[in-house]
Structure 1
Amino acid sequence: MNPIIEPIGRPVVLGEGPFWDPDSQSLYFVDVFGYSINRYDTKTKEQFSAKVEGYCTIIIKVDGQKNKFVITEKNKLKLITWDGISDSIELSETLMIVGNPDEELLLNDGKVDSQGRLWIGSLSPQIEPSSFQFEHGKGFLYMINKSESFTVQKPNVTVANGLAWNPSDDKFYYIDSMKLTVDVYDYDNKTGKLSNEKIAFDLRGNEIDGYADGMTMDVEGKLWIAMFGIAKVIRVDPANGKVLSSIKFPSLQITSVCFGGPNYDELYVTSGNMNQTSEQLVKYPLTGSCFRVTNLGVKGVPNLAVKL
């Protein structure tokens, strides 16, 4: 593998939640602290942005509904209408408050399973505002049942991040960044039940620094993990817990990944630019950029639209 890395679009503060839309051949993503949703058109190489009201971590298409998306706003799931061009959202309505409304836990990474259900995790409260130091184990992983209700699939989460299902749809992989592992579960795709938790990948056991953030899966059943704080995406074999390869980026805070392109053989990578020193900005000149990676020699599993 000799990957080719290309920055795309405008740099952002904290890029997250990449979602590939095959219909428009566009990458959707959010800027969490720029308070915007974004679309990068790979055909015209234009980036379009619209402002959102608050802390937003995902933008996912609604299945069968043109210009409809589910986004987050703090602890809420919202249904929006956006044409992907305008600098403002046309319509916005709250679908539900996720979790205990009195706790107001921030929602974080989310992804849709093969049944069209949204899975999304929450963050534990920060010990001090803007400290990025979190209380231990007070967040959750939820499964949303067609915007009607939610169930707690996993309690005791600190920093909810990457999610992935294997190609045969009987294993679920999950990242709680503070655990420094990727965990794997047996998965019942009809009910969503998780069981038999094990460690699929141990970061420090593989001498990997930084924190695992977003994650995706390729058709060979290998995990692609965004490594926050070490400027890398790593490819991992969950069968033996070993690193197969890594890709280095000119941006330190790599946040998330998804496959896209006409053949799903391109990797799209988001990154952040938070509290960087002048020395770090010199060393990582494209901090906060999104990237397209080609020449990977493998295809990825598509991300899916949510069914409401």
Structure 2
Amino acid sequence: MALNKIQLLVLLCAAIEIFAGGRGTTPLIKNVQKGGVHFEGPHWAEDENALYWVDIQAQKTYRLDWASGNITSKTIEYGPVSLVVRVKDYPKLLLISARSELYFMPWDGPEGDSSLRLLSVVDLGLPDNRFNDGKVDAKGRLWAGTMGKETDGEVDLDQGSLYLVTQENHLHPKVVLKPVSVSNGIAWTADNKYMFYIDTPTRNIDVFNFDLETGSIRNRRTLFSFQANNITGLPDGMTIDTDGNLWIACFNGGQVIKIDSRAGKLLEQHKLPASKVTSVMWGGSDYSTLFVTTSKVGLNSIQLTQEPEAGSLYAIENTGCKGLPQNQFVFTNADKY
């Protein structure tokens, strides 16, 4: 299979490092896509060998074909789109959020909002609320949270909720956590005994005991505090690797950090040329590529000059770690719903 330009550059950098006497352990950061406003929500679709992600402010969903390097996009005119996951057994059929609603969207369908099929509506009576982050568990259920009104970077606190959305309850999604201010990163251990969760303004990564069969969480406690560990910025998106370590985007912190999910210990810090790091997700042919989204929202003209690549999608290679396949939303006959 022919390699695209992104993959060739990564291999070339690795070869140069080895030739220079390195041991191939220095992470390599590649800018995959520039020009975004507020990139978020990366989701790897293994059966498509493709990455999906969104631009919240620009109201776009993107798709990167990893084999060819080709990037395409679709605009969602209805409102901010912040969440995108694949629907299981239906290639290129996505579940996306727009405002406080969830829709099915076929990637190869017609342009514009005419291809959207409404699945769920939440936070009724709160017109300024919108969905933010979301992930699918091993049973194919969507865990997705909302946030309150945002004005000049400040969010109305305690206005959102964390929802559990299934085929059975999609008309009335279950509230599993309330109140929430800015619902963000979610991850599970490989044995599905623990779920990690971020409500961004708390500056904490919390952990729950998780029951996969019932989809219930209990015994919430703080695993890692940004304040206690002197980490700059706010915790945003999050993912987990095969060793059970968490990788967390630091919004206004300009880095991705790696922490031990058992001891809550800071293990690594990976700097990026953008301060507003929004989310992370493993992908690539062997799940060794860490995709990182960033934003330029709120940066002034001086800061934009200092951070010309803000609002980009990055790929970090050679971390020595790998991720796990991402779960996909389960919905029988989703193509006919």
Bucket of the pairwise TM-score, normalised by the shorter protein: over 0.9
Give 2:194's aligned residue.
171
Amino acid aligned to 1:48: T
* 1:49-100 per-position Cα deviation (integer Å, ceiling 9, x unaligned): 111021110111111113211111111111111129x75466211111123x
Structure-to-structure mapping, 1:168-247, within 5 angstroms: 168-247=191-270
- 1:136 corresponds, among 134, 157, 174, to 157
Where structure 2 has 5 or more consecutive residues not aligned to the other structure, the ranges are 1-24, 332-337
Amino acid aligned to 2:318: N
Give 1:24's aligned residue.
48
Give 2:88's aligned residue.
63
C-alpha RMSD of matched pairs (Å): 1.5
Give TM-score, length-normalised by structure 1: 0.94
- 1:110 corresponds, among 134, 150, 161, to 134
Does the residue aligned with 1:195 lie in a helix, a strand or coil?
strand
**Worse overlay, 31-40 or 142-151:** 142-151
Where structure 1 has 5 or more consecutive residues not aligned to the other structure, the ranges are none
Give 2:107's aligned residue.
82
Give 1:41's aligned residue.
65
Aligned-residue offset at 1:148: 4.3
Alignment coverage as a number of residue pairs: 303
Q: Distance in 2 between matches of 1:11 and 1:215?
A: 23
**Poorly superposed stretches of 4+, deviation over 4 Å:** 86-90
**Worse overlay, 162-171 or 18-27:** 18-27
Q: Is the counterpart of residue 264 in structure 1 residue 294 in structure 2?
A: no
Q: Is the 8 A contact 2:54 2:81 kept in 1?
A: yes
Does the residue aligned with 2:155 lie in a helix, a strand or coil?
coil
Q: Distance in 1 between matches of 2:122 and 2:163?
A: 8
Q: Is the 8 A contact 1:18 1:27 kept in 2?
A: yes
Q: Distance in 1 between matches of 2:205 and 2:252?
A: 17
Q: Is the counterpart of residue 250 in structure 1 residue 299 in structure 2?
A: no
Amino acid aligned to 2:136: V
**Worse overlay, 132-141 or 193-202:** 132-141
Q: Is the 8 A contact 1:72 1:107 kept in 2?
A: yes
The structure that has the greater radius of gyration is 2
- 2:317 corresponds, among 276, 279, 294, to 294
Sequence identity, in percent?
32
Give 2:8's aligned residue.
none
Amino acid aligned to 2:106: T
Give TM-score, length-normalised by structure 2: 0.86
Q: Is the 8 A contact 2:56 2:80 kept in 1?
A: yes
Does the residue aligned with 2:47 lie in a helix, a strand or coil?
coil
